[in-house]
Amino acid sequence: MSQNPSEDVKDDVLLACRYGDLEDVEAFVKQYGTSALADVRDENGSTILHMIAANGHQDLLNYLLPLLPPTLLSVQNESGSTPLHWAALNSQLEIAQKLVQQIDGPGRDLIDIKNKAGRSPLGEAELAGWEEGAKWFVEVMNLDADGAKEQPADEDAVLDTEDGSNRDIEVEIEDAEGQVAKMKLSGKQISSASQASNT
C-alpha cells in the first residue's frame, strides 16, 4: 500500500466520488487506504463526502461510511458547508438520512451546523424549495439545540383528542435570515418520534 497519493490521484478520486465511480474509489482505497481517502480535499476544502452527497451516489456512500472516520461527516469546506448542506442543496433525501443516521456520527447535530452564509442544512433545503427534505429535517432535528433545557411537561397540555387519537400541530421555525417556515406534523408522527427518542 503506497503512503501518499499524488495531487493528480487525489483529483481523480474526487472526480470518481463526484461521478459515482465505485470501482475507482475501491482501487484508491486498496492502494492508499481509507485514511488517505479521508484526507482528500478539493481547492475549496470539500471532501469526498461533499461530492457524494451533492450527487446522490448511495452505492458509494454505503461502501465508504463504515470505512471513514465519523468526524468526516461534519467537516466544513471554505464556505462552511458540510456534506449535509450539499445533500440539502441538491434534494438528496436518502443521502441526508444516511449522513444523519450514521452510527457513531454527529447525528441530528449535523442539522444545526451553519455555513458562512448563516444557513443550516434545513435553511438550505428551504432556500432550494425542497419541502420533503425540510419536513424531514424538522421531524428529526434537535429542537433544544440552543442549549434550552427541556421543560417539564405541562400537566394541562393535551396531545390527544378526546377520542384518543393524536392531534396535528403546526411548527414554525425561523432561519438565520428571518424567514419563517411552517410545517404541519401529524400527531402520529410526533408520537412515533417521541417513542423512537425514548428507545
pLDDT tens string 157-171: 444 455 555 666 766
- Least confident span in 22-31, 133-142, 182-191: 182-191
Decide if 134 contacts 98 (C-beta within 8 A). no
pLDDT tens digit string along 37-79? 999 999 999 999 999 999 999 999 999 999 999 999 999 999 9
The Cα angle at residue 83 between residues 86 and 12, in degrees rounded to 5: 95
Residue 142 has pLDDT above 80, yes or no: no
Q: Give the pLDDT confidence score for residue 194 in this predicted structure.
A: 45
User: Can you tell me which residue has the cell 482505497?
Assistant: 29
Cell 429542537, residue located: 143
Higher pLDDT, 130 or 185: 130
pLDDT at 147: 42
C-alpha distances in Å from residue 170, one per residue of 52, 139, 143, 149, 152: 34, 12, 14, 21, 21
Name the residue ranges covered by the structural domains of the chain.
7-143+158-197
Which of 2-6, 48-52, 102-106 reaches the highest mean pLDDT?
48-52
∠83-85-90 over CA atoms, to 5°? 95
The tally of CA atoms less than 13 A away on the side-chain side of residue 115 is 21
pLDDT tens track for 89-99:
999 999 999 99
CATH of 7-143+158-197, one of 1.10.3720.10, 3.40.50.10860, 3.40.50.300, 1.25.40.20: 1.25.40.20
Residue 25 pLDDT grade (very low, low, confident, very high; cuts 50, 70, 90) = very high
Nearest to 52 by CA among 106, 108, 14: 14
Q: For residue 188, what pLDDT is reported?
A: 56
Position 188, amino acid: K
Residue 92 contacts residue 56 (beta carbons within 8 Å): yes
Higher pLDDT, 149 or 177: 177
**What was the pLDDT predicted at 176?**
57
What is the chain's percent helix, strand, coil content, to nearest 5? 50, 5, 45
Nearest to 173 by CA among 129, 132, 128, 126: 126
> Could you tell me the CA-to-CA distances from 50 to 46, 165, 182 in Å, in that order?
6, 42, 28
Classify 77 as helix, strand or coil.
coil
What rounded mean pLDDT belongs to the chain?
Answer: 84
**178 vs 68, which has greater pLDDT?**
68
